[in-house]
């Protein structure tokens, strides 16, 4: 079965202009200006993408795919994500994480959910661990797990500067970073250490100290939630300028923004203006994670739930409100996170030989119209056409 996409303005994520794309099975077979051999292909379907921009499928590198939360007791454990919640947001590749709760949720369940999402049609991976140290492993050794288990591509999210963390010591973070570094060399995976940042006064001090006291670099770690308050965000500018990856979270609520959280589209503008290459910058949703509100004594006050659907609106705002070129803004949810984690099959890019993950955007509004994952249409004209096994159809 072959599909020929014609008359598309293609961003790969670099702007390529008008192109045709030939898809066979799950792969992009060819890209060019005009495909002349259509009569030689059996069962060819032609898609007219006039009026659309075709961009890589989105990579959300921080999603609680089996749910998260629990900070307000058992009833506040958030639910698992569904396939259509991801695809309608344009997400075709996802990296699953645990969070505060490593008692009732486990990495084994995370891997099983990643495999389920792949069976349902998208691509998924997982990180080993949770907020807490020491890490719980399968084999008894972190490095063995990362090298030998294909679905595990890094560690995290390990929490620092947060009252919910295990208050890790400098030596613990150095050892975790060192083990992940070698595991990445042996396996060819990114094997980054994803670090959750809370509102604690330490901010990024511990990560700067790790680099000062070891042979590790800042690029071994990917700190996230860096936009949660102005002080942390300002420190993240230094982190990026010294070569580290910076990840900001798109899920939020009005209260957090009123209290000083930096809107992601504005954060991207600040990073770029400061001289941080876009290749070091990523957006992630914290989808299905709890967005708890605590008082000054750490008492739980209530929560909302993060959503993958928050990612694309922030990129669109970066284009329309912050006047960032589309091919630049796209990278923070396509090529940058995919390259940080060294995802296979050229995720985050559109090129022959790579997986056929694409989002069709309306040329004027940049609204999501159609989503293709591994060569299969998952969303058409904004509506899901493929559902997860247990999803309820309306």
186-204 pLDDT per residue, tens: 999 999 999 999 999 999 9
For residue 294, the model assigns a pLDDT of 65
Q: Where in the chain is the domain with CATH 2.30.40.10?
A: 2-55+349-384
Question: What tokens were used for 62?
Answer: 């921080």
52-56 and 358-362 strand pairing = antiparallel
Annotated catalytic residues are: 286
For residue 346, the model assigns a pLDDT of 95
At how many degrees (to 10) do helices 264-274 and 230-241 cross? 40
Q: Where in the chain is the domain with CATH 3.20.20.140?
A: 57-340
CATH architecture of 2-55+349-384: Roll (2.30)
For residue 34, the model assigns a pLDDT of 84
| b (16+ CB within 10 A) / e for 204-221 | bebbbebbeebebebebb
For residue 72, the model assigns a pLDDT of 84
Residues 6+ apart with CB under 8 A from 225: 196, 197, 198, 232, 247, 248, 249, 286
Q: How far apart are CA 270 and CA 389, in angstroms?
A: 42
Tell whether the torsion through CA atoms of 4, 7, 11 and 15 is positive or negative.
positive
For the chain, residues with pLDDT lower than 70 are 294-295, 298, 300, 394
Fold of 57-340: TIM Barrel (3.20.20)
């Amino acid at each position: 079965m072959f599909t020929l996409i014609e008359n598309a303005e293609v961003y790969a994520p670099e702007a390529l202009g008008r192109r045709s794309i030939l898809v066979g099975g799950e792969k992009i077979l060819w890209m060019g200006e005009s495909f002349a051999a259509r009569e030689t292909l059996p069962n060819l379907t032609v898609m007219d993408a006039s009026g659309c921009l075709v961009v890589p499928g989105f990579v959300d590198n921080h999603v609680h795919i089996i749910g998260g939360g629990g900070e307000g007791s058992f009833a506040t454990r958030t639910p698992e994500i569904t396939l259509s919640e991801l695809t309608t947001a344009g997400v075709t590749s996802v990296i699953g994480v645990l969070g505060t709760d490593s008692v009732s949720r486990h990495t084994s369940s995370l891997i099983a959910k990643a495999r389920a999402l792949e069976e349902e049609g998208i691509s998924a991976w997982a990180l080993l661990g949770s907020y807490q140290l020491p890490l719980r492993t399968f084999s008894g050794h972190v490095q063995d797990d990362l090298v030998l288990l294909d679905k595990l591509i890094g560690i995290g999210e390990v929490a620092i500067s947060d009252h919910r963390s295990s208050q890790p010591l400098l030596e613990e973070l150095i050892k975790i970073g060192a083990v992940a570094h070698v595991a990445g060399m042996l396996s060819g995976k990114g094997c980054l250490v994803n670090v959750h940042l809370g509102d604690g006064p330490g901010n990024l001090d511990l990560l700067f100290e790790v680099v000062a006291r070891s042979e590790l670099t800042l690029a071994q770690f990917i700190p996230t939630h860096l936009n949660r308050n102005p002080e942390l965000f300002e420190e993240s500018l230094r982190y990026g300028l010294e070569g580290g990856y910076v990840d900001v979270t798109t899920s939020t609520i009005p209260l957090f923004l009123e209290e000083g959280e930096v809107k992601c589209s504005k954060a991207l503008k600040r990073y770029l203006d400061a001289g941080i290459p876009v290749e070091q910058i990523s957006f992630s949703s914290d989808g299905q994670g709890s967005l708890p509100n605590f008082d000054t004594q750490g008492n739980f006050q209530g929560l909302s739930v993060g959503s993958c659907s928050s990612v694309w609106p922030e990129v669109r705002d970066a284009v329309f409100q912050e006047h960032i070129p589309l091919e630049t803004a796209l990278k923070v949810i396509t090529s940058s996170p995919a390259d940080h984690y060294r995802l296979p099959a050229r995720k985050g890019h559109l090129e022959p030989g790579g997986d056929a993950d694409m989002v069709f955007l309306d040329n004027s509004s940049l609204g999501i119209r159609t989503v293709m994952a591994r060569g299969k249409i998952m969303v058409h004209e904004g509506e899901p056409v493929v559902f997860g096994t247990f999803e309820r159809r309306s």
